[in-house]
């Protein structure tokens, strides 16, 4: 037996700069604030890069559910938007929120709910009966859930004759799918509830509430008319969402001040291409990494112009039509810093990663 290797073996067991498996940091469902049941998921542990604040998934309402990475750099704007939603809903510190679908917490970021001072809980099972039981037992100030599910559950309560025992004046924050308009009358009848229509995505967070934007970097750009009505693509921080909405001066059904009719969403066609024309970065190489990162963790295609201006005073993005589809739309130019906030946060995330690389010594790459 080689005594030197034996000594190394003991030292590796007792000491070391790299962690053993039981010494690795862990981020659980509870840490993320989404420790509730769903019938659509399996709980799986993954190795999550230290440069990501957390992982989540798209809801799959229009396509296959895809993984989403959320960076630390984008959290402040996401949390600010979440605070705007909670304040507009009239919620205050200490209020209880009942969440019917746990992944919706990821759109806020659980940190936003903690910082705001809310208490939130989940159903025992993902079913309408479990929802009614929780509503009765917990008496929440607000409910966060999908509108068709809430409508069906409240109709059940009415048909079973238990509506009178449910809490009154609850705020219903509906999200995940376009607002089911039939929820409004049954919610008013059974709960005397205020209904709010949230539009957002796992990739970026909340974007609009009752037809009113909740971020400063939102633009509406005209798209092709549908059925004789003008629709507008919603663009966040320079990135098109692929969703278009009509706008109306008569207002959103939940708030006449809201002009974006988010419950009449249509997928945008043709989709815009995003071209970076100018960047505050000194290197086009770093900008290319940003573009690839956005594709990988946000599912948005961003291209870098061959003659991109570096060291510019602000980011400049150009949205243009897809020449491959043979359809052209007038280009739209978006200039930062306010209107490119989300894109710029991804730039900052890339810089943070390059300056504070979290590497594992057993994974060595040679250039």
User: Over the stretch 210-223, which tens digit does the pLDDT of each residue have?
Assistant: 999 999 999 999 88
pLDDT digits (tens, 9 = 90+) for 101-148: 999 999 999 999 999 999 999 999 999 999 999 999 999 999 999 999
If DSSP codes are grouped into helix, strand and coil, which group holds residue 201? strand
- Write out the two tokens for 362: 């057993």
Domains in the chain with CATH codes: 29-215 (3.40.50.12780), 273-355 (no CATH)
pLDDT digits (tens, 9 = 90+) for 36-92: 999 989 999 999 999 999 999 987 766 688 999 999 999 999 999 999 999 999 999
Residue 254: per-residue pLDDT:
98
pTM of the model: 0.92
DSSP 152: H
Top pLDDT among 64 and 94 is at: 94
At how many degrees (to 10) do helices 147-160 and 183-191 cross?
50
With cut-offs at 50, 70 and 90, classify the pLDDT of residue 7.
confident
Going from the C-alpha of 13 to that of each of 18, 220, 321, 357, the distances in angstroms are 11, 58, 59, 26
Residue 15: per-residue pLDDT:
83
Looking at the predicted structure, is the pLDDT value of residue 226 above 70? no
**Weakest mean pLDDT among 26-35, 293-302, 314-323:** 314-323
Is-contact 172 143, C-beta < 8 A?
yes
Is-contact 331 343, C-beta < 8 A?
no
In whole angstroms, give the CA distance from residue 178 to residue 262: 7
Looking at the predicted structure, is the pLDDT value of residue 367 above 60? no
Going through the chain in order, the beta strands assigned E by DSSP cover 52-57, 67-71, 96-99, 119-122, 142-145, 171-174, 194-201, 205-209, 212-213, 218-222, 232-236, 239-245, 266-267, 273-278, 302-309, 316-320, 332-335
User: What does the longest C-alpha to C-alpha distance in the chain come to?
Assistant: 85
Q: 109: number of CA atoms within 13 Å, CB side?
A: 26
In whole angstroms, give the CA distance from residue 73 to residue 138: 35
pLDDT digits (tens, 9 = 90+) for 259-271: 999 999 998 877 8
């Amino acid at each position: 037996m080689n005594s030197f290797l034996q000594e190394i073996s003991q030292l590796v067991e007792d000491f070391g700069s790299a962690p053993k498996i039981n010494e690795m940091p862990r981020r659980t469902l509870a840490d993320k604030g989404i420790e509730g049941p769903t019938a659509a998921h399996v709980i799986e542990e993954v190795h999550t890069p230290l440069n990501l604040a957390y992982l989540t998934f798209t809801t799959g309402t229009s396509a296959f559910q895809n993984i989403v990475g959320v960076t630390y750099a984008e959290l402040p704007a996401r949390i600010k938007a979440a605070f705007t939603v909670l304040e507009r809903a009239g919620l205050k510190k200490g209020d209880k929120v009942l969440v019917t679908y746990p992944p919706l917490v990821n759109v806020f970021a659980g940190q936003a709910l903690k910082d705001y001072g809310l208490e939130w809980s989940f159903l025992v099972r993902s079913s309408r009966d479990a929802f009614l039981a929780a509503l009765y037992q917990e008496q929440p100030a607000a409910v966060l859930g999908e509108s068709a599910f809430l409508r069906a559950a409240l109709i059940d309560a009415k048909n079973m004759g238990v509506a009178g025992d449910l809490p009154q004046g609850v705020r219903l924050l509906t999200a995940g799918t376009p607002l089911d308009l039939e929820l409004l009358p049954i919610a008013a009848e059974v709960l005397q509830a205020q209904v709010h229509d949230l539009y957002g995505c796992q990739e970026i967070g909340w974007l609009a509430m009752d037809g009113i934007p909740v971020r400063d970097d939102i633009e509406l750009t005209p798209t092709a008319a549908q059925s004789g009505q003008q629709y507008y693509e919603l663009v966040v921080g320079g990135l098109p969402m692929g969703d278009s909405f009509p706008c109306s001066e008569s207002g959103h059904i939940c708030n006449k001040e809201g002009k974006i009719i988010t419950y009449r969403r249509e997928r945008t066609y043709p989709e815009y291409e995003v071209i970076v024309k100018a960047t505050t970065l000194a290197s086009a190489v770093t900008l290319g990494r940003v573009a690839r990162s956005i594709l990988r963790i946000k599912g948005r295609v961003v291209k870098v112009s061959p003659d991109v201006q570096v060291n510019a005073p602000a980011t400049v993005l150009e949205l243009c039509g897809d020449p491959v589809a043979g359809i052209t739309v007038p280009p739209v130019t978006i200039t930062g810093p306010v209107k490119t906030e989300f894109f710029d946060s991804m730039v900052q995330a890339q810089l943070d990663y390059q300056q504070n690389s979290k590497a594992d010594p057993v994974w060595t790459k040679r250039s």
